[in-house]
Amino acid sequence: MIAFVLRRVGASVVTLLLLSVTIFLLVRATGDPARVYAGAEASEEEVAAVRADFGLDKPLLSQYATFVTDTVRGDLGHSIQFRQPVFEVYMDRLPRSLVLATVAFGLSLLIGIPAGVLSAVRPGRLSAGVFRAVALTGVSVPNFVIATTLILVFAVKLRWLPTSGSGSIKQLVMPSIALGWYFAAAMMRLTQSSMLEVMRGEYVKLARLKGVPEWIVIGKHALKNALIPVLTLAGVNFVVMVNVAVVIEQIFAWPGIGDLVYQGITLRDFPLIQGVVLMAGFMVVAVNLIVDVVYAVLDPRIRLDR
């Protein structure tokens, strides 16, 4: 088990290094960062001073080494537009995105997993059809349409909920529905196919032959194994919800990471985009690492399969 975890950690470090090289080179390929940092009215001398300050006059390899050590220390650079360290800007937004993503994630599981299970084990039932329809609506209708419709119905017509903003539970309701609904369909489809595969397993047939009640066969024997691939998707989905809920956060004026990404792109704030991409990449790698370890705990064949 220890060897497995170490192998996975090693692979994660390599992935992060590759990510850092890609980001490092892409940022430099888009123009001279010193000129961007120096600002609109900067003279050539001022740009040169910034270049020296940030070590941008050093060889590329040396710059990369500094970039990596700074990143490891949590220094992601300085936002051009926000005039603050990128890490501070990111951490300021992160709690709100975590709250939104957690609720939306829970919702996607609540809809997606039952829909997937029902579609697999009771495909003809009305309940399965309803769940499936709900889940598929989330992925078929663009989320900006869902978001706008929610605002129109629950804020403008019924006056039950505020249109936008953050800070109260009421303000959380519509963005989390709009965000979670979209991911529910993907969860449903994966749960369904995974369940169908598992239900064909010998151990399921054996359990049935032994006369184990069907709900125990499904709930205890089949679902537990079927959820393993779902877990991977769920982890990645959560990271996506935290970092890339751009449209939803824009429409609901939710000051999270998605809104920050949008601002970073539309404000051409390269250090900010670089920082957010790095943090998102780190999260994906971390979540995958955790999921791999959990896999190995749940299914010993995985850690032995090397």
Partner 1 sequence: MRTKLWRAVAAFGLLAAGCGSGDSSAGQDDTSTPESVAQVVEVTTTQAGGERSSTTLGERGEPAGTVVYGWHTALTPAWLDPQESGNVITAYGFNYAIHDSMIKHFPGDQLAPSLAESYEIADDFMSASFTIREGAKFHNGEPVTADDVEFTYMNYHGTQAQLFHDRLDRIEKTDQRHITFYFKEPFVDFLILYGTPATGIGWIVPKAYYEQVGPDGYKQAPVGAGPYRLVRNTSNTELELEAMPDYWRGSPKVKTIIYKIITDDATRFAALQTGEIDFMNVVQGQLLQAAENDDRIRLTQRSTTAFWLEFPGWENPDSPFHDVRVRQAVSLALNRREISDAETGGFAKIDTGNWGAPDLIGALQPDEIKPEWYEYNLEKAKQLMADAGYPDGFEVPQLTPLAPYYALGERVITQLAQIGIKTSLNRIERAAFVEALTKGPDALPGMILNISGLNGDMAARWRAFATCEGPSSRTCIPELDAKFAQYEASTDPEERDALMAEIQTEFNDQYVFPYVYTLGLTMATGPRIANNPDDIWFSIPQFPYVFPWEDVELKP
3-class SS at 207?
helix
Nearer to partner 1, 70 or 92 (CB): 92
- 40 vs 61 by CB, closer to partner 1: 40
Amino acid at 241: M
Output the six-digit token pair for 191.
């749960």
Distance, in Å, from the CA atom of 252 to the CA atom of 150, rounded to the nearest integer, reads 10
Cβ-based nearer residue to partner 1, 235 or 271? 271
Question: Which residue, 226 or 242, is less far from partner 1 as judged by CB?
Answer: 242
**Tokens 């959820």 belong to which residue?**
227
Q: Which one-letter DSSP state was computed for residue 57?
A: T
Residue 164 CB, shortest distance to partner 1, in Å, is 5
Residue-level length of the chain: 306
- The residue among 92 and 214 lying less far from partner 1, judged by its C-beta, is 92
Q: How far is the CB of 81 from partner 1 (least distance, A)?
A: 5
Query: Least distance from C-beta 167 to partner 1, angstroms?
Result: 8
- Answer for the pair 148, 247: CB distance below 8 angstroms, yes or no: no
Which residue lies nearer to partner 1 by CB, 260 or 285? Answer: 260
Binding positions for partner 1, rule: CB under 8 A: 35, 39-41, 81-84, 89, 92-93, 96, 148, 151-152, 155-156, 159, 162-165, 250-253, 255, 259, 263, 266-269
Shortest spacing between CB 281 and partner 1, in angstroms: 22
Q: What is the CB neighbour count within 10 angstroms for residue 269?
A: 23
Go through 65-96 and write b for each residue having 16 or more CB atoms within 10 A of its CB, e for each that does not.
eebeeebeeeebbbbbebeebbbebbeebbeb
CB 192 within 8 A of CB 121: no
Min CB(252)–partner 1 separation in Å: 7
Q: Please say which residue, 113 or 276, places its beta carbon nearer to partner 1.
A: 276
CB of 201 to partner 1, least distance (A): 48
CA distance 298 to 185: 25
Cβ-based burial of 54 (10 A; exposed 0-12, middle 13-18, buried ≥19): middle
In whole angstroms, the minimum distance from the beta carbon of 29 to partner 1 comes to 15
